[in-house]
Structure 1
Amino acid sequence: MASIDYEKLVQAIGDAVVVVDVSGVIVTWNAAATRIFGYTEAEALGRSLDLIIPERQRDRHWEGYMKTVSSGTTRYGSSVLRVPALHRDGAALSIAFTVALLYKDSGQVDAIAAVIRDETTRFAEERALRKRLTELETKLAVGASTP
């Protein structure tokens, strides 16, 4: 069996792969993360994950993050989490991701890896469809109540 160069694999994946240490500092940032968020690898490495977290979401994010680090468990290993994020230019993004906890030999969490997909377009399309459905339901209700 051929050996796999995991660094090349991470860089080739079409979804963003972002790995942060237990304090929330970015230690891995692939090419797809650059495409999605606008920061180069050099700009992102060594910086806080706050780089891509909207300010209004940060307290909630870090509360959950620290709970995950201390408990060593997450439900987002197999369940997708959908949250807002920020592009380098300040534009709002909608992302979906799962995480993998990376452990030390002692069993403590050493890092958290996220595989992230940009769902901004899909989210906007769903929002427009929901709005249109509400408008049609309102028209239908108004029409039904008119004799």
Structure 2
Amino acid sequence: MAHTDAGGLTLRAMRYAPTLFTDGSDQPDAPDPRDWLAGIIEGSDDAIISKDLDGVIRSWNGGATRLFGYTPEEAVGRPVTMLIPEDRLDEEPRILAGIRAGERFEHFETVRRRKDGTLVDISLTISPIRNRHGAIVGASKIARDITERRMAQEQQQLLLGEMHHRVKNLFALATAIVSFSVRSARDPAEAPQIIQARLAALARAHDITMTAWRDDGREKSATDLQSLLQIILEPYQSADRIVVSGDNPPVGPRALTNLALLLHELATNAAKYGALSTPVGFLNLQIVVAADVVRLLWREQGGPVAETRGAAGFGSRLEQGLAVALGARVTRDWQATGLAITIEAPAEKLAS
């Protein structure tokens, strides 16, 4: 691998001790240590680049070509700012000033631009390069692609956020179930049994919605829409305050997770803020299958005054997931009598 020399800024300008062999002799035909170093640099998976104090690229290894897309012929001699997005150009003067002062930058996470214009998250380690007299003449940069690590971190944060949301909801729902179970009990002595039964039903509904969080290789089972609604809404059932009527289309294993999560979220919101949060509120659900489309009409009545609010946070992501997975559409109508929601999905995809 050829490296460009400029004012002592080159791997070949570095001084090494002679190679000493086991018999104590120096062998003039032995490989030059600089060749060993050049081979290590060229074979590295990381991008290894050197630049002078003007920010001009002086060497470029194979890892840099794989990461950024430029060949050595395209990169050497050009300013390193060709790799820096416009909104991060202020980083280069600060880095060069630090290098001139002998500073080393370790695991500096930033963003760089490839030849095709796409951006890549990288971790940079930048060290001063000195000539044989000890003067700083440039810098070496080792860049590592951290895109997958960043994506994994973001996914982990998303899962932790959603889990936090679900745990808070479960505590709120448990409180709500205890409250309206005590109010609806004819005899205070029967309240503990009612509460226990409803909490057990809540656990069953929660188990269905947790299929999205499991990765244990188990096959998901199919069901039908009315059975799914019954399981999810059973914890809130009291004196026929929830009515489900109409058709009963199948719900396949692939559609089950997204639909169960969304229905669970709607039931949670109804119990916390809507018709199921009051003793006199009730919920009417009607299922209609027509022209190969399943339409679920969710109607709340008798609850607090309907308040116009968008699908917040987790609920919004659930609706987006349902739209992507099933080609479904969710619409809301805040009527004077209560919230009305319509969920529409192709029957074929719902059964998949």
After TM superposition, the score normalised by the length of structure 2 is: 0.38
1:23 corresponding residue in structure 2: 54
Tell whether 2:70 aligns with 1:34.
no
Q: Distance in 2 between matches of 1:23 and 1:139?
A: 54
1:44 to 45, 65, 75: 75
Paired amino acid for 1:131: L
SS at match of 1:102: strand
SS at match of 1:50: helix
Change (3 A) 1:144 1:108: farther
Seq. identity, %: 26
Larger-gyration structure (1/2): 2
Structure with more contact order per residue of length (Cα contacts < 8 Å, sep ≥ 6): 1
- Segments of 5+ residues of structure 2 without an aligned counterpart are 1-18, 20-29, 176-352
- Segments of 5+ residues of structure 1 without an aligned counterpart are none
2:96 to 66, 81, 84: 66
Q: Tell me if structure 1 keeps the 8 A contact 2:103–2:127.
A: no
Paired amino acid for 1:29: W
C-alpha RMSD of matched pairs (Å): 1.7
Q: Tell me if structure 1 keeps the 8 A contact 2:67–2:145.
A: yes
Q: Tell me if structure 2 keeps the 8 A contact 1:18–1:114.
A: yes
- CA deviation digits over 1:59-99, x for unaligned, max 9? 1x12322321331222x2xx311111111111121111212
SS at match of 1:46: coil
Aligned pairs for 1:1-147 (under 5 A) are 1=19, 2=30, 3-4=32-33, 5=35, 6-59=37-90, 61-74=91-104, 76=105, 79-105=106-132, 107-146=134-173, 147=175
Q: Distance in 2 between matches of 1:64 and 1:31?
A: 27
- CA deviation digits over 1:17-55, x for unaligned, max 9? 011110111101100100011111111111111121121
Q: Tell me if structure 1 keeps the 8 A contact 2:111–2:120.
A: yes
Paired amino acid for 2:94: G
Q: Distance in 1 between matches of 2:120 and 2:137?
A: 28
Q: Distance in 1 between matches of 2:114 and 2:58?
A: 19
Q: Distance in 1 between matches of 2:96 and 2:123?
A: 20
Q: Distance in 2 between matches of 1:69 and 1:96?
A: 17
SS at match of 1:144: helix
